[in-house]
Amino acid sequence: MSSGAPEDTFDWDAYWTDVSDEKCEEASPSAHHAADVLCEFVERFDAPAGVADVGCGAGVTTFAAADRLAESVVGYDTAAPVVERNRDRAAREGIENVRFEQTTLPTFDPDREFGVVFSYFTLQYVREVERALENLYAAVAPGGALVCNYMNRAAREFCLVAADDPHANADHPFVFDPDQYEERFGALLDGDSVLSRERIYETLGTWPRSAFTVADRPDVQWAWHHAPLVYVPKH
């Protein structure tokens, strides 16, 4: 998904300007699966009202959550073009429980707290990833949870293989555009955005738990070894 990454890592505004359907799909890997997981989590966790989808991109998960859940959903993204695109769709389809705002991680300072703050395939783009975690968690209401996935050391090693020669590894996962591979995934390749359960605990003071202890694991092949999906409850 498109991220809340700082502008010096990748030009997401340019990416989302006059975006093709192919690029929308590329920027939302497995988002339809993530939508099911998010909705099941919200329905089963009994969190306070409100869902934030941070790094929402084309809003696949955001719109699905707004359609399925009887509560407000806010999608956040760093790229103005995709925020406007999503706003236009919400207005065109008359979806009243969703809105879209612009934000750029690691900064995240919404005008409210949410029962669930969700960030999917986004943190790998953020160099100040611990600060991003702190700000996302600060927006969670007591009794709620931060739900996110992250790239671990195995993911970095996996992606470094393609970084040796992106054009020769064009079929490698995540090499959507060989010319922009190292720029797009620079924070991960440099190790700045690599996370672990221990690092999340050290940052937030609460151990992350598998999101699949609450929601059902999708019956599809998924890179959870490299990008675990976790939740961090807030008491």
**What letter does residue 65 receive in the DSSP assignment?**
H
Residue 6 lies in a domain: no
pLDDT of 193 reads 97
Which H or E element spans position 82?
helix 80-93
Question: Which domain covers residue 217, as residue numbers?
Answer: 12-233
Instruction: Using pLDDT thresholds of 50, 70 and 90, give the confidence band for residue 178.
Output: confident
Residue 88 lies in a domain: yes
Residue 135 lies in a domain: yes
Residue 100 lies in a domain: yes
Instruction: Using pLDDT thresholds of 50, 70 and 90, give the confidence band for residue 5.
Output: very low
Closest CA to 156 of 119, 194, 114, 206: 194
Residue 184 lies in a domain: yes
- Determine whether 218 is exposed, middle or buried from the number of CB atoms within 10 Å of its CB (0-12, 13-18, 19+): middle
153 torsion bin: left (phi>0), alpha (psi -120 to 50), beta (else): alpha
Residue type, 235: H
Residue type, 146: L
Find the helix packing angle between 60-68 and 80-93, rounded to 10°.
30
Report pLDDT digits (tens) over 183-222: 889 999 999 999 999 999 999 999 999 999 999 988 766 5
Number of folded domains in the chain? 1
What CATH number has the domain bearing residue 61? 3.40.50.150
Residue 82 lies in a domain: yes
Instruction: Round to whole Å and give the CA distance between 99 and 148.
Output: 20
Instruction: Round to whole Å and give the CA distance between 189 and 182.
Output: 8
For the chain, give the percent of residues with pLDDT over 90.
66
Residue 5 lies in a domain: no
Report pLDDT digits (tens) over 159-177: 898 898 998 888 887 787 8
pLDDT of 122 reads 94
Residue type, 231: Y
* Cβ 32 vs Cβ 130: under 8 Å: no
Closest CA to 223 of 145, 170, 154, 157: 154
Residue 2 lies in a domain: no
